[in-house]
């Protein structure tokens, strides 16, 4: 993935620059994966009785943090100022709270009906949607880390990524088990806070959300570490080496 100032290629037309920006941030492979997932999903819905989750809506929400990251990169083409700074802060906050929607797709396996006669077909559908969620989460994290590192420093970007991964673990728990959505933080923030705090304070049940959140965050963090290592290795491989006699 390449993160650069959107205004660097000022000699190119805006559509060409946007095309390059999306290409450099894996937009087109993600679209292909999403279209494939949607094709499997709607084919299953049309040919059999579907009692599972609304995977198409969950996939749409998984795309939100990716586009917020792209919007953050596009803001680099504007000169600095209060309005631009406010827009960047808004995009960062919105990305932070919508980010759990991407890895959330993994938990849709809870709807897998083991008694269904087309079990492996259902497994394949849930797998590809989970894969789309993970890929969108990883690319989104890469975009945010690289861009915030360029603007605010490496330390800030690392702290933000770790915080997002930790928050995502608990956010997925709140969405899956407490049934709150990201936009509920805007309309019912106090209710979401009280409900989440109430589960954590229960004498016998409080350990469960902590364990689930920690486990999910650890899985997501391990996966991201692997992706970062893979991309770094690819970059290092493309750097020409100097050989001496």
Q: Which residues contact 34 (CB under 8 A, 6 or more apart)?
A: 59, 63, 132
Indicate the pTM of the whole model: 0.84
Of the candidates 111, 119, 115, 103, the residue with the CA atom closest to the CA atom of residue 168: 103
Render pLDDT for 38-92 as a digit per residue (tens, 0 to 9).
Answer: 999 999 888 887 878 899 999 999 999 999 999 998 887 776 678 888 888 999 9
Tokens of 227: 């992706």
Q: End-to-end alpha-carbon separation of the chain, Å?
A: 34
Helix, strand, coil share (%) of the chain residues, nearest 5: 80, 0, 20
Q: What is the pLDDT of residues 89-126, one digit of tens each?
A: 999 999 999 999 999 999 999 888 766 667 888 899 99
How remote is the C-alpha of 168 from its chain's centroid? 9
Residue 236 structure tokens:
């290092």
Domain ranges for the chain, please list them. 14-238
pLDDT score at 61: 95
Task: Tell me how crowded residue 204 is: count the other CB atoms within 10 A of its CB.
Answer: 6
Distance CA 110, CA 31 (A): 25
Each residue's pLDDT tens digit, 181-228: 888 887 787 788 878 777 766 656 668 888 899 999 999 999 999 999
| Cα–Cα distance measured from residue 180 to residue 175, given in angstroms and rounded to the nearest whole number | 5
245 against 102, higher pLDDT: 102
């Amino acid at each position: 993935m390449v993160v650069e100032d959107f205004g660097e290629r000022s000699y190119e037309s805006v559509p060409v620059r946007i095309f390059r920006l999306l290409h450099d941030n894996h937009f087109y492979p993600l679209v292909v994966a999403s279209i494939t997932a949607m094709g499997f999903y709607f084919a299953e819905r049309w040919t059999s009785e579907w009692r599972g989750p609304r995977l198409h809506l969950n996939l749409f929400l998984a795309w939100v943090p990716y586009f917020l990251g792209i919007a953050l990169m596009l803001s680099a083409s504007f000169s600095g100022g209060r309005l631009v700074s406010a827009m960047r802060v808004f995009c960062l906050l919105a990305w932070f709270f919508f980010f759990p929607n991407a890895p959330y797709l993994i938990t849709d396996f809870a709807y897998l009906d083991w008694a269904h006669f087309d079990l492996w077909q259902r497994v394949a559908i849930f797998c590809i949607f989970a894969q789309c969620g993970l890929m969108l989460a990883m690319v989104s994290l890469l975009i945010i880390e690289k861009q915030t590192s360029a603007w605010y420093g490496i330390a800030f970007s690392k702290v933000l990524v770790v915080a997002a991964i930790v928050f995502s673990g608990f956010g997925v728990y709140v969405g899956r088990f407490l049934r709150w959505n990201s936009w509920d933080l805007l309309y019912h923030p106090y209710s979401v806070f009280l409900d989440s705090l109430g589960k954590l304070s229960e004498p016998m049940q409080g350990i469960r959300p902590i364990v689930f959140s920690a486990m999910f965050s650890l899985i997501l963090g391990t996966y991201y570490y692997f992706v970062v290592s893979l991309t770094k290795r690819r970059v290092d491989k493309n750097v020409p080496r100097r050989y001496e006699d």
